[in-house]
Copies of this chain bind each other. A is one copy, B any other.
Amino acid sequence: MTTINDIAKMANVSRTTVSRALNNNGYVSEDVRKRIMKIVEETGYMPSVSAQSLRTKRSGVIGIILPKISTETSSRVVKGINEVVSKEGFQILLTDTELNPKKEVEYIRLLQSRQVDGIILLATNVNKELLNVINDVKVPFISLGQELPNVTSVVYDDYHAACDMTNLFIQRGHEKIAFIGVGEEDPAVGHTRKQAYLDTLQKNGLTVKDEWIHEGGDFSIESGYESMKQILKKSQGNLPTATFAVTDRMAVGAMEYLKEQGYNIPGDMAISGIGAAVMSAYITPSLTTIDYNNKEAGRITARLMLDKLNNKNVSEKSTLSYRLISRDSV
């Protein structure tokens, strides 16, 4: 079997040069790279990723598991992570679960088998199998956006953000506040934001009507549209005057339904979201929302990852700050 030493000898370069060429790690002239690659091809030599990692202890790659690549949250987080890790010479491999919980588990295994140095997970749900698999992971692991037991977690302050948003409606005189949420298998978005809404209403002595609360099937615009439709249908005669949707896309969908039905926003119904989607600034009326500063969240997570890679101690839980953006929809 051809070894890296054979390749080096045949190309008349050092073993380090061959390694550089194969890993794209350090300078090799295009001529030499071509010569090496030609020999690699002719001999059918395949570099052993595992052997490399054992030698260098680093593969130079961080794996990120995203719930959905299309969301702005995902791309901002990746941007922030990349900004930090690229300076240290790391590259990034991404996987997209398309909101399928089973894929979170599969992709943790896939990234490990491709010998990444560390894994960052943006989970949308928490279940026993996921926790078991994370527990078996042999490289530094960080959860971003969900607090997971015994896992380094970087979390948004969902509870206080959702309290602030509910309070904003109350300060503006609203007493009948509806809520568009998602399933509670997503602890951060489905459970915590709803709990904050319920607690804030109760603290202010306001009634919570079941018909004012609706759970969308996913985070989509369509799901927000459908939820608003259901809420209006069920609360005929006692309509809410405000609706808090847990994501901007759901809020946009809700607005779309209200507009179609001839309701004035915010006159007949005030609306807010969470997430500061670009779109939220461009729709009419512009949407009141919460900015989680996802890029900074990515940077913070990346710095924690580098610390872990350097065997430094890191705190198990970091809670991020947020900013309420008050616009025309409330």
Residues of A at the B interface (CB closer than 8 Å) are 22-24, 30, 34, 37, 41, 46-51, 53-54, 61, 66, 68-72, 74-76, 78-79, 82, 91-96, 98, 106-107, 109-110, 113-115, 132, 136, 138, 221, 252, 256, 278-279, 282-284
Contacts and interface: CB of A to CB of B under 8 A. Distances in A.
A49 B115 contact: yes
B49 A114 contact: yes
A88 to B, nearest CB: 15
16 contacts: A24-B106, A30-B132, A37-B136, A46-B115, A48-B51, A49-B113, A61-B114, A69-B70, A69-B74, A69-B75, A70-B72, A70-B74, A75-B96, A91-B106, A91-B107, A93-B114
A37 B113 CA distance: 12
Contact of A279 (B94, B110, B138, B282): B282
Nearest to A82: B98
Contacts of A136: 34, 37
Contact of A24 (B30, B79, B92, B109): B109
A299 to B, nearest CB: 15
A1 B283 CA distance: 62
A222 to B, nearest CB: 10
Given A46-B50, A283-B284, 20 more contacts: A22-B113, A23-B109, A24-B113, A30-B132, A46-B115, A48-B48, A48-B50, A49-B50, A66-B69, A69-B94, A70-B72, A75-B96, A79-B98, A91-B95, A91-B106, A91-B107, A221-B278, A256-B282, A279-B279, A284-B284
A98 B34 CA distance: 27
Contacts of A48: 48-51
A96 B72 CA distance: 14
Nearest to A91: B110
A91 B71 CA distance: 21
A50 to B, nearest CB: 4
Nearest to A137: B37
Contacts of A98: 79, 82
Contact of A75 (B68, B76, B115): B68
Nearest to A33: B136
Nearest to A73: B70
A105 B96 CA distance: 22
A70 to B, nearest CB: 3
A221 B49 contact: no
A46 B37 contact: no
In the complex, which of the residues A23, A98, A113 has the most CB atoms of chain B within 10 Å of its own CB atom? A113
A251 B285 CA distance: 19
A51 to B, nearest CB: 7
Given A69-B74, A221-B282, A46 B54 contact: yes
